[in-house]
């Protein structure tokens, strides 16, 4: 192989009389970020070499030499990291260059019936597939934390909010399981993305396929793909799999941001619903009393960066003609950044939820303070007095106004006060006006009643295995 530097380029060979300028090398090089592919690149190269040898396209002896040398390179990279030489541009050329240093001209046979276009498409799919598996494991662990904390608080009463106003009492277990459900959907989106990406581009070559008698099924099987891609033009230019990952990551990050925001609000002194653990909080450089929820705030901030990464790749791919364009070199940094931020966010939030102390007495007091059982009174009027709900709603509105004027909760009103509003009300109504009675009554499937929460916990544990 021609050494880097000098006149002709190491890759382009005789087509160019002169080498690229230093600035061209800088803008063209991707080794600074695509070195993260080294495991995938070596795995795909080994599969390709084995297939070439089995098909008689290259000598079996050369295929064996290539495989052994690739294993040696993998050991070097594992021990010392990947060197960065801008003249070699990317991880693919770094591997091939080192291969030539180890085994000489036989290294040049590896690129038979292969282009960097199908090579990078294959490596990228392998990397995203591994990233999805990593995220799924982290989300599963987080779900286990949520289910465990929900079980501890299946009966702990807290205010449920709409518009951040007290709405109806719920249980803390029910609230935590809402995030379990969000993560369940997130995992399903990642699983769908994984199923779609699991096709092998290797063998598509530059864009048109190849005249060599490849066995693409064998390389697909060797790399754990379900099948080869069906169209070579699409295979080398497709980045839907990366977009699928980013869109799933962005939506997942929105769910994480919502929980982070709730922890931030709940940890504030006016709420005081939670005490965050020391190892996920920070102090102030000037105010010694401060206990800042920085981990949660960073998770909230990361969601913007992850969504930005998704938009970045959307805009990169918009309007690109078939097949490959160099714009697509910029496909990898947003995926790498989003993945790193998402993993940090999931693990940090899981740690926070696992160690947070919930101030359930404070939660109960807040639930009792906001006329949260008003709907229970309306429902009682519908059931016990046979009133249409809209009429009951109007009556309860008057009762709330009276309780507000008297400075008491609905349960603090006397029967005579309630009967002055509507004579159909009797003392039985007090059976539904406590927050405990309210949550116990919400027995519909998916409701907040402790028995229903425990049902959902059992189902969640069955799903998690």
Active site residues: 163, 284
Q: What's the rounded Cα separation, in Å, for the pair 127 and 125?
A: 5
- Phi, psi values for residue 158, rounded to 5°: -145, 165
Q: How far apart are the first and last CA of the chain?
A: 53
Inter-CA distances, 326 with 1, 4, 36, 331, Å: 24, 21, 19, 10
- Phi, psi values for residue 169, rounded to 5°: -70, 140
Hey, is 184 helix, strand or coil?
Answer: helix
Contact 153, 358 (CB under 8 A): yes
Tokens of residue 83, six digits: 């060197």
Q: What's the rounded Cα separation, in Å, for the pair 10 and 95?
A: 13
Tokens of residue 22, six digits: 């230093």
Q: What's the rounded Cα separation, in Å, for the pair 100 and 64?
A: 14
Number of neighbouring beta carbons within 10 Å of residue 85: 16
Greatest Cα pair distance, the chain, in angstroms, is 101
């Amino acid at each position: 192989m021609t050494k880097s530097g000098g006149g002709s380029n190491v890759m382009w060979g005789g087509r160019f009389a002169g080498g690229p300028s230093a600035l061209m090398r800088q803008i063209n090089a991707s080794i600074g970020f695509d070195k993260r592919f080294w495991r995938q690149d070596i795995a795909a190269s080994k599969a390709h070499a084995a297939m070439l040898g089995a098909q008689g396209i290259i000598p079996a002896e050369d295929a064996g030499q290539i495989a052994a040398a690739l294993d040696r390179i993998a050991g070097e990279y594992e021990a010392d990291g990947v060197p960065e030489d801008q003249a070699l541009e990317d991880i693919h050329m770094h591997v091939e260059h080192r291969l030539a240093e180890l085994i000489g001209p036989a290294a040049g046979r590896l690129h038979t019936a292969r282009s960097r276009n199908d090579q990078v498409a294959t490596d990228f799919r392998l990397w995203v597939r591994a990233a999805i598996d990593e995220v799924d494991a982290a989300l599963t662990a987080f779900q286990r934390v949520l289910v465990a904390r929900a079980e501890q608080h299946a009966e702990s009463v807290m205010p449920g909010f709409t518009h951040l106003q007290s709405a109806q009492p719920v249980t803390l277990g029910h609230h935590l399981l809402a995030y379990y459900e969000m993560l369940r959907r997130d995992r399903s989106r990642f699983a769908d993305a994984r199923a779609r990406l699991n096709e092998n581009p290797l063998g598509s070559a530059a864009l048109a396929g190849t005249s060599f008698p490849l066995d693409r099924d064998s390389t697909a099987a060797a790399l754990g793909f379900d099948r080869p891609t069906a169209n070579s033009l699409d295979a080398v230019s497709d980045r839907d799999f990366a977009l699928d990952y980013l869109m799933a990551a962005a939506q997942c990050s929105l769910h994480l941001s919502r929980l982070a925001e709730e922890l931030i609000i709940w940890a504030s002194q006016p709420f005081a619903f939670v005490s965050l653990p020391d190892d996920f909080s920070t102090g102030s450089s000037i105010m010694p009393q401060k206990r800042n929820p920085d981990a949660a705030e960073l998770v909230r901030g990361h969601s913007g960066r992850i969504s930005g990464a998704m938009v970045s790749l959307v805009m990169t791919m918009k309007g690109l003609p078939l097949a490959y364009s160099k714009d697509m070199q910029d496909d990898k940094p947003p995926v790498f950044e989003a993945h790193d931020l998402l993993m940090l966010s999931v693990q940090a939030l899981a740690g926070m939820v696992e160690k947070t102390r919930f101030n359930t007495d404070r939660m109960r007091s807040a639930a009792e303070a906001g006329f949260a059982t008003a709907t229970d009174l309306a429902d009682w009027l519908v059931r016990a007095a046979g009133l249409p709900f809209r009429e009951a709603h109007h009556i309860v509105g008057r009762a709330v106004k009276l309780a507000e004027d008297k400075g008491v909760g609905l349960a603090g009103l006397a029967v005579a006060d309630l009967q002055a509003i509507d004579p159909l009300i009797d003392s039985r109504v007090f059976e539904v006006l406590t927050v405990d009675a309210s949550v116990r009554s919400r027995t519909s499937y998916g409701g907040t009643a402790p028995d229903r929460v425990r049902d959902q916990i059992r189902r969640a544990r069955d799903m998690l295995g």
